[in-house]
Amino acid sequence: MKVNPGYMLQVIAGNPVIVPLGNQFQKRPGLYRINDEAAFLFEQLQAGAPDGEVIEAFAARFGSTPAESGAVFTDFVDKLQRLGIIGEPDACSR
């Protein structure tokens, strides 16, 4: 999965948010509040890590099982897709 251009992660007063910029802002202005786990996933996705690596890194960081990490990842990606923050998987990242 790949984060579409025009989104940035910012921590404000200890609270992570996803901020749409430029054209994305014009389409849907606002700030998306996320928790620390989601911020970790977003950073990994934005860095272009393959899904499997993101899930492994999440499990290592938060001490969850691969199944739990996979479920969290899938849920977060679904939400980002619904918001148009990530698009279809890039063939190169599979």
Partner 1 sequence: MFTLSVCGIPLEIHGASERCRQLCAAFIVPDKPDAQRIVITDADIGEEVRRWPQPAGDRASGEFTLLCRKVQKALLPRDCLLIHSVALDIAGEGYLLLGKSGIGKTTLGRHCQRMLPGARIINGDKPMVLIDGGRILAYGTPWCGKENLCVNDHVAVRHLVFLRQAAANSRRPLNRKESFYRLIHQIPYPETEPEVKAYAALVEAVLTHCVASEYGCVNAPCAAVDLVKAWPEANPA
- Interface residues with partner 1 (CB under 8 A) are 8, 10-15, 17, 19-22, 25-26, 29-31, 33
CB of 38 to partner 1, least distance (A): 15
In the bound state with partner 1, the residue whose beta carbon lies nearer, of 13 and 91, is: 13
In the bound state with partner 1, the residue whose beta carbon lies nearer, of 14 and 63, is: 14
In the bound state with partner 1, the residue whose beta carbon lies nearer, of 20 and 70, is: 20
- What are the DSSP calls for 25-70, one per residue? HHHS-S-EE--HHHHHHHHHHHTT--HHHHHHHHHHHHT--HHHHH
